[in-house]
Amino acid sequence: MINILVTSPCDEEYKKLLETAGGSSCNFTYADSRFVSEDILKNEIEKAEIIVGEPDVSAIKNAKNLKLLQLTMAGTDKYTKNYEYPQNVVLANASGAFGEVISQYVIGGILNICHKFYKYRDNQHKNLWHDEGLEIGLEGKRVLIVGAGDIGSNIAKKLSVFNTKTIGIRRNINNMPPYFAEMHTLDELDEQLPLADVVVACIPNSEYTYHLFDKHRFMLMKNDAIFVNVGRGALVIQKDLIDVLKSGHLSGAVIDVAEPEPLPPESELWSVENLVITPHISGKSFGHHKSITDKIYKICAENISNYINNKPLINVIDFKKFRK
């Protein structure tokens, strides 16, 4: 019998999906990490061969029976950055579940800056009817997407209705995804930044991308460029972003991620006028977007079925891509 522990929120609809995928050879335990005690969770982790959820590395590093950790999120830096992660445990994420919704957020964020909606919202709170002047037209602009995976590809697809020229940055440039005009490697980032009207960061955090966007790279961008970050807060040196925006370089920025999270109330980021901040909600599933939760649990169910039937797992993480 294969013991499977689910620590993420999982209602009856998704329990049925997982149990159908597992069949009679699996014993499922549901222990939502938000509500169960550490002792109970520790006991269940020790028995589990598969875990669906995001336990801390400290909780699983000595789990003798654990063979597969199936995440319900796309981000993996909690594990790839931790060298205590057990090497015998396969790590798989839920990549593919978030691109559709996050791409909607990105388009909304870009248009927010283009049309100065953030200023008009502030004016509304002041009962002020005031024309804020020159806007930015998105049609025909050159957009650089740093991280051309599932999320980046969905962004490129949505941008196509604006007839943008969309350029991608990714590790593997052999295959050109649809809706991209060009594809470049991360080594070519500095050559591409001065050409872009909009820069979208949706690349994972790794030892290769930590503080990728510093003052030098922000200053390489056009004076009226727009910057959007839906990747990780650690991609950006926040003080540099603050200084650049306050200096008048860049039309504005949208960030859904910060370093640290939650962003402290005393952070200077809050006071930057042409910066839009949201609390890491662009691709949030549980309690936000049922469509994402549906996709997450379909991915989890597929990998449970694949594991049981000795088929190749999907979304397996290669730690070498995250560590130097």
Where in the sequence numbering do the catalytic residues fall? 232, 261, 280
Query: How far is 172 from 169, CA to CA, in rounded Å?
Result: 9
Query: How far is 4 from 26, CA to CA, in rounded Å?
Result: 7
The rounded Cα 212 to chain-centroid distance in angstroms is 16
Alpha helices, H only, the chain: 12-22, 38-47, 57-60, 77-80, 99-114, 117-125, 150-159, 189-192, 215-220, 238-246, 290-308
Tally of CB atoms within 10 A around 22: 19
CA distances for 185 relative to 91, 92, 114, 146, 300, angstroms: 25, 24, 28, 9, 31
DSSP-assigned letter for residue 264: P
The sign of the CA dihedral 179, 185, 190, 191 is negative
Closest CA to 146 of 181, 185, 110: 185
The sign of the CA dihedral 256, 257, 263, 269 is negative
